Amino acid sequence: MKLQQAVLPQGWAITKLGEVIKLEYGKPLSKDERFSEGQYPVYGANGEKGRTNKYYHNKKTIIVGRKGSAGEINLSEEKFWPLDVTYFVTFDEKKYDLIFLFHLLSSVELPKLAKGVKPGINRNEVYDINAIFPPLPEQKRIVAILDKAFTAIAKAKTNAEQNLKNAKELFDSYLQGVFENKGEGWQEKSIQDIAKVINGYAFASKDFNATNSIKSIKITNVGVKEFVEYKNNYLPEKYITTLQDYQVREGNIVIALTRTIISAGLKVAIVPKSYDGALINQRVAALVPNVKLVNQRYLYNFLITDGVAKYVLANVNTLMQPNLSINDLRKLLVPCPSLKEQKTIIKKLDALSAETKKLEAIYQQKIEDLEELKKSILQKAFNGELT
């Protein structure tokens, strides 16, 4: 932020943050002193971390992450306990408004100061930041304007997020309906009857090196409806001839058998062109459909439905982590119409997917624009330009 004394309104001044606020160190609190039903909140670097029955500070203020989520800020309750991974702000309440300071600290983007392997911020660097401060009455006027503007932005953002959610749910609902409302002549066939199921090979960890030439697919490559590319999953050239049975091609389907399902959904993806010919590692399964029985894209769309997610949840072994056995995958029943009808279904799904993605892009851009608007308003507020 460029600050120029000459353009400031009367009574405003450029002052270093260290002359206005003090960042006091939080204090350790053992976990056995924290309770879910305690009287007072315990704050860590990124918000509330439980409750306690005693407090360390007794004035509502600002919590600043010192280590961990360094630079993240939160408003505290009146009495609270700040952990040692935080700073808490003290200041002269006769000269400065708490909410004004909160917005000001938001505008200077403190996380950008974080440094180190375990990122942390040095309070002296915060103190050295120049900021513009108006008189207290003007601070309160600015806060009132910001509150009104941010309330409107929050409402617009909530609407955009709901519209984004609705757009995604529209496709998911239609997709689910396709496989629930089976047509005449549809047959249920197990995965193993319509596709070759490849169970990944147990490569040794020493086999993987970024300097090798053959790509592999690990469970980390398989996201929820997305393939994640990595540069360090390469295997020696020799395996491409000796382990051809574990090779996949562009368009094949891969499923993570470890942590198969997470909160975002089932970990299933399509092999991209860049991984054509890759070898499958252990705890990943690949499906190579019999093209005379099932369309590859049709099978993939079936696998991303809620119905399949429910099947997986009913069959995963959750003793250690949610693992799906290769046998349960093979037994999964797929509703199969004729290949002609499968292609018709895919055509309709593609059209709806394209429209859904357009809507998602519009709403996502609106959310991003609202965030930029918020930053712009903050910048104007702390340059003395907010009227």
The whole-angstrom distance between residue 222's C-alpha and the CA centroid of its chain comes to: 16
Average pLDDT value for residue range 289-296: 94
Residues 116 and 242 in one domain: no
Residue 283 makes CB contacts below 8 A (sequence gap 6+) with: 200, 218, 219, 256, 257, 258, 323
Of 152, 58, 142, the C-alpha closest to 97 is 142
> Residue 348: its pLDDT value, please?
92
Residues 19 and 106 in one domain: yes
Of 55, 51, 54, 72, the C-alpha closest to 63 is 72
DSSP 8-state class, residue 278? P
Rounded to an integer, what distance in angstroms lies between the CA atom of residue 116 and that of residue 154? 34
Residues 380 and 310 in one domain: no
Residues 168 and 40 in one domain: no
Residues 192 and 326 in one domain: yes
Quick: pLDDT tens for 349-364: 999 989 888 888 898 8
**CA dihedral of 274, 277, 278, 281, whole degrees rounded to 10:** 150
Is-contact 194 257, C-beta < 8 A?
no
Q: What is the pTM of this model?
A: 0.66
Angle (CA) 205-207-209 rounded to 5° is 95
Residues 224 and 279 in one domain: yes
> Residue 23: its pLDDT value, please?
97
Has residue 3 got a pLDDT over 70? no
> Residue 378: its pLDDT value, please?
81
> Residue 377: its pLDDT value, please?
85
Beta bridge partners of 335: 188
Of 239, 337, 231, the C-alpha closest to 294 is 337
* 365 CB neighbour count, 10 Å cutoff: 11
Residues 325 and 355 in one domain: no
Residues 210 and 330 in one domain: yes
The whole-angstrom distance between residue 231's C-alpha and the CA centroid of its chain comes to: 22
> Residue 363: its pLDDT value, please?
87
Residue percentage of the chain with pLDDT more than 90: 62
The band of 387, judged by pLDDT with boundaries at 50, 70 and 90, is low
Average pLDDT value for residue range 284-296: 95
* 89 CB neighbour count, 10 Å cutoff: 23
The band of 5, judged by pLDDT with boundaries at 50, 70 and 90, is very low
Has residue 4 got a pLDDT over 70? no
Rounded to an integer, what distance in angstroms lies between the CA atom of residue 206 and that of residue 296? 34
The band of 318, judged by pLDDT with boundaries at 50, 70 and 90, is low
Rounded to an integer, what distance in angstroms lies between the CA atom of residue 78 and that of residue 319? 43
DSSP 8-state class, residue 194? H
Residues 200 and 321 in one domain: yes
Residues 218 and 276 in one domain: yes
Is-contact 190 333, C-beta < 8 A?
yes
Rounded to an integer, what distance in angstroms lies between the CA atom of residue 387 and that of residue 134? 13
Has residue 6 got a pLDDT over 60? no
> Residue 374: its pLDDT value, please?
84
Of 190, 90, 172, the C-alpha closest to 353 is 172
Residues 237 and 375 in one domain: no
Residues 196 and 308 in one domain: yes
Average pLDDT value for residue range 41-52: 92
Q: Which of 336, 357, 377 is the last residue of a domain?
A: 336
Q: Are strands 40-44 and 81-82 parallel, antiparallel or unpaired?
A: parallel
Mean per-residue pLDDT over the chain, rounded = 90
Residue percentage of the chain with pLDDT more than 70: 96
Has residue 344 got a pLDDT over 70? yes
Rounded to an integer, what distance in angstroms lies between the CA atom of residue 59 and that of residue 64? 15
> Domain span at residue 221?
187-336
Give me the number of domains the chain comprises: 3
> Residue 107: its pLDDT value, please?
87
> Residue 243: its pLDDT value, please?
94
Phi-psi region of 50 (alpha: psi -120 to 50; beta: other; left: phi over 0): left
CATH number of residue 203's parent domain: 3.90.220.20
Assign 3-state DSSP to the chain and report helix, strand, coil percentages, each to 5: 40, 25, 35
User: DSSP string of 223-254?
Assistant: -SSSB---SS-EE-TTHHHHTGGGB--TT-EE
Higher per-residue pLDDT: 365 or 4: 365
Quick: pLDDT tens for 9-42: 788 889 999 999 999 999 999 988 988 889 999 9
Quick: pLDDT tens for 189-230: 999 999 999 999 999 999 998 889 999 999 999 999 999 998
User: DSSP string of 320-332?
Assistant: SS-B--HHHHHH-
Token couple for 225: 């409806």
Per-residue buried b or exposed e for 259-286, using 16+ beta carbons within 10 Å of the residue's own CB? ebbeeebbbbbbbeeebeebbbbebbbb
Has residue 320 got a pLDDT over 90? no
Has residue 384 got a pLDDT over 80? no
Q: Which of 295, 316, 336 is the last residue of a domain?
A: 336
Rounded to an integer, what distance in angstroms lies between the CA atom of residue 194 and that of residue 75? 57
The region of weakest confidence among 124-138, 150-164, 292-306 is 150-164
Is-contact 199 327, C-beta < 8 A?
no
The number of residues making up the chain comes to 387
Q: Which of 321, 336, 351 is the last residue of a domain?
A: 336
CATH number of residue 164's parent domain: 1.10.287
Quick: pLDDT tens for 144-175: 988 998 899 999 989 988 988 888 888 888 89
